[in-house]
Structure 1
Amino acid sequence: MKHTTLIAVSVAALALAGCKKEAPAGDAMATSAATDSTIPGVTPAAEVQRSPSQVFADTAAASDAFEIATSQLAADKASSAKVKTFAQQMIKAHTESSKKLESAAASATPKIVPDAAMTAQQQQVLSDLQGKSGAEFDKAYAAAQVNAHQSTLNALKAYATGGDVAGLKSFATEMIPAVTAHFNMAKGL
């Protein structure tokens, strides 16, 4: 029964999207079904229209936002001076990276506006870090930094070799050495 209902809601959402008709103003169920990204097989309209360059810009912006947020937390919660110093460096570096990304994205035609909204996974890691302190925090923060920098490095390398917006390709290429250095520093925490 649950599976049949899910299929029916998915079909209804696809039908609404295909017809480009909006649900009646009072029909919250239809509106929710048409826009709910949790329904298997239904892709939100915003994701359908994102170009690979927009996806890259959003990924890079979210990475910067994550690095800044977790490092601000580390500046307050870390017990190790080495972790606190690293966190201050990450805040500065990722604030600068965000500015460079915005400039590179603005040079695209059509203009790309990076969305710095963190992913659910990044938000979960941030939330987990908020609940830790002392040496436990330091260890979890270091692991999060290693993982985040590895992911960012992978995205930068992929876009540097296969991207289609010159400004963003230059940004990606320019950032690879810095992110590699951050990755190596994080592994040493």
Structure 2
Amino acid sequence: MRTIILLSAASLALSACGSNSDEPAGTATSDAAVTGDMAAGAGAATGTNQESAMAGSNQQFVDTVAASDAFEIQSSQLAQTKATSKAVKDFAAMMIDHHTQSTADLKRAALGASPSVLASGQLTAAQRVDLDALRNAGADFDKVYVQQQVAAHEAAKALLSDYSATGAPGPLRDFASKTVTVVSGHLDQAQKLPQ
């Protein structure tokens, strides 16, 4: 139950990645909306069948990570063409490589889980809004990209850390334990990028 609630919160956090007060009106997710959504997600997780709960928990984890990878890849592809800083472009190239590998590793782990699950890789509505904000950032592209990367990696690190500590032993927990170290490194690098 705790894992399901935390996955709901982490999913919302990843969905809201990159939303901040410096973005144009209409692109930021309000704290009240996130809090309300988290409460609704927590209230919905009331199943009593442990296997069913575990399958749902695994599916939500896999979908959240897959969406995070997809957002990282797509936003970094934009950075390859729109960023002005070489450091930002180099970071974006690394993000494409590392998150493509992460997606492949996640798919293998998800298929090896019991029960197995499939990764959807569909972006959330908030991630689509963030991509649009990035496309339209103009001269502020590097700043918006870096802010989104920091937020996305903070949320991913929290999700992976929690799942590696509380997820059921198996391939998905192993994936989370291995990947949290990589994501921590990405976060450190993103925080040092010029804006």
Q: Same fold (TM over 0.5)?
A: yes
Whole-Å separation in 2 of the counterparts to 1:85 and 1:174 = 23
Larger Rg: 1
> Is residue 58–residue 115 contact of structure 1 (8 Å, CA) maintained in 2?
yes
Tell me which residue corresponds to 2:168: 164
Name the Cα RMSD after superposition: 2.0
TM-score (norm: length of structure 2): 0.70
- Equivalent residue in structure 2 for 1:78, among 80, 83, 101: 83
Alignment of 1:107 onto 2:106 = no
In the alignment, the residues of structure 2 paired with residue 150 and residue 90 of structure 1 have an alpha-carbon distance, to the nearest angstrom, of 15
Mapping of 1:128-167 within 5 angstroms?
A: 128-134=133-139, 136-167=140-171
TM-score by length of 1: 0.72
Give 1:58's match in structure 2, choosing from 57, 63, 71: 63
Measured in 2, the distance between the counterparts of 1:119 and 1:165 equals 28
Q: List structure 1 runs of 4+ shifted beyond 6 angstroms.
A: none
* Aligned amino acid, residue 90 of structure 1: M
% of aligned pairs identical?
A: 39
Q: Secondary structure at the match of 1:51?
A: helix
Residue pair 1:108, 1:165 contacting (<8 A) in 2 also: no
1:165–1:127 Cα change, 3 Å: farther
Query: How many Å separate the matches in 1 of 2:104 and 2:166?
Result: 22
Which deviations, in whole Å up to 9, do the C-alpha atoms of 1:144-167 show, x marking residues without a partner?
Answer: 000000000011011001112510
- Give the number of aligned pairs: 145
SS at match of 2:119: coil
> Is contact 1:78-1:133 (8 Å) kept?
no
